Amino acid sequence: MSRPELIKDVVASIAEYVPGKSIEEIAKKYGINPSEIIKLGSNENVLGPSPMAVEALISTSSMVNIYPSAVASELVEAISVYTGLPVENICASGPGMDGLLDNLMRLLINQGDEVVLPTPTFSYYEIAARANGAVAAHVAPGNELAFDVEAIKTAISERTKVIFLCSPNNPTGKLMAEEDVRAILESTKGLVFVDEAYVEFADSNLSHLVEEYDNIIIGRTFSKAFGLAGLRIGYGLMPAWLKTQYMKIATPFNVSYPAVMAGVAALSDKDYLDRSISCTKKGRVFLIKNIPFRVYDSQANFVLVDVAPMVAADVAESLLKKGIIVRDCRSFKNAGDSLIRVTVGTQQQNEKVVAAFKRAKDCSVQ
């Protein structure tokens, strides 16, 4: 028997997080051998993890009876070297950047505070904010799915506590110009959360703004360029005053010791990071050039395909049947019904993706 009256009222109106499909799910549904399935629906790193990170995991496995450092100090120091920011500006987080978002929403949101959400974007911001009592103000995209900066500024009110800017944005792949981020920072008394989950694949980043503004938080992750999605490590770059408050309420020991040391190893594996970035950038160009539909330019490790006049559900399904997992974007608010997000794969995977899109297009014209 269920007891819905025990659950906070707001939960009834929150839409569940929709994850990318798993290999197991697709293998079962379409009777495909799991080893033949290509998983390009969740923007993971297709090169596998850094061998140095794997070695760190193995060598720390015998120490899991001991709690890690409460503040993940080894990892925070390594992130300090990587970003060039002092440790006073860095909080490591688990599970992943999602854990950072959860802790921040618990720290910041009073009942009825507003959060501004330019759409379409990563859906967990809204879940974390609303679960803590926030009211969401959605902002529709401009032409060609661009950020509508004027509309974002107009949506800011006296009650705005947090503005979420995802740059590069998931699922559009677009980067927000630094001058636009500055303008938004300067037009609010609230905090601006800049999600840089995909920033290693982009032409620029905004970490330097943390030294200049007292109302910015940058979210980062080890799940993408560093290839450690399964370990669930993220971090936040924020002004020192905010770190002090954040550490008061953060879940204790939220990054495990193997994850701390794997993160440190991944940061030191420059060769892996370089390969992961260059493989993505090359593959991105290949997909944009060869997928026979409108493909948006991207600064991330995925591309967004507009299959109109076909619908995303049909095209995604035809790829899934061939064992290629991509993301039908209908669950993203304001994304319409013709967008499909595809993680950049290896060259061999990208060729299969292109061939599958060509087949889907040819079938539709027959």
Ligand X SMILES: Cc1ncc(COP(=O)(O)O)c(C=O)c1O
β-partners of residue 115 are: 136, 162
Our CB check for ligand X shows the closer of 19 and 112 to be: 19
Which member of 50, 89, 167, 221 binds ligand X (CB under 6 A)? Answer: 221
Which residue matches tokens 């921040």? 104
**150: alpha, beta or left? (left if phi > 0; alpha if psi -120 to 50):** alpha
b/e code 162-175 from CB counts within 10 Å (16+ = b): bbbbbbbbbbbbbb
d(C-alpha 41, C-alpha 326), whole Å: 4
Identify the residue among 223, 256, 298, 338 touching ligand X (CB under 6 A). Answer: 223
Q: Which is nearer to ligand X, 101 or 109 (CB)?
A: 101
Q: How far apart are the C-alpha atoms of 113 and 161, rounded to whole Å?
A: 6
Our finding on whether 301 is near ligand X (CB under 6 A) is no
Looking only at residues 104 through 133 of this chain, which bind ligand X when binding is defined by CB under 6 A?
122
Residue whose CB is less far from ligand X, 119 or 223: 223
DSSP 138: E
Question: Whole-number minimum distance, CB 164 to ligand X, in Å?
Answer: 10
Contact characters 27-66, ligand X, x per CB under 6 A: ----------------x-----------------------
Q: Which stretch binds ligand X (CB under 6 A): 92-100, 129-137, 155-163, 205-213?
A: 92-100
What distance in Å separates the CA atoms of residue 34 and residue 54, rounded to the nearest whole number? Answer: 23
Name residues contacting ligand X, limited to 238-297 (CB under 6 A).
Answer: none
Please, what is the minimum distance in Å from the beta carbon of residue 305 to ligand X?
A: 17
Binding ligand X (rule: CB under 6 A), the pick from 68, 118, 173, 234 is: 234
Residue 94 contacts ligand X per CB under 6 A: no
Strand, helix or coil for residue 33: coil
Cβ of 114: how many Cβ atoms within 10 Å? 21
Q: What is the nearest approach in angstroms of ligand X to the Cβ of residue 70?
A: 20
Of 74-82, 94-102, 251-259, 320-328: span binding ligand X (CB under 6 A): 94-102
Nearest-approach distance from CB 257 to ligand X, in angstroms: 18
Does 96 help bind ligand X (rule: CB under 6 A)? Answer: yes
Which of the residues 178 through 197 are near ligand X (CB under 6 A)?
A: 195, 197
In 3D space, the residue among 297, 268, 271 whose CA is nearest the CA of residue 284 turns out to be 297
Spatial separation of the C-alpha atoms in residues 126 and 238, rounded to whole Å: 21
Provide the residue type at 2 as one letter: S
CB 339 within 8 A of CB 305: yes
CB of 222 to ligand X, least distance (A): 7
Q: Please, what is the end-to-end C-alpha distance for the chain in angstroms? A: 51
Give the residues lining the site for ligand X (CB under 6 A).
43, 96-98, 122, 166, 170, 195, 197, 221, 223, 229, 234
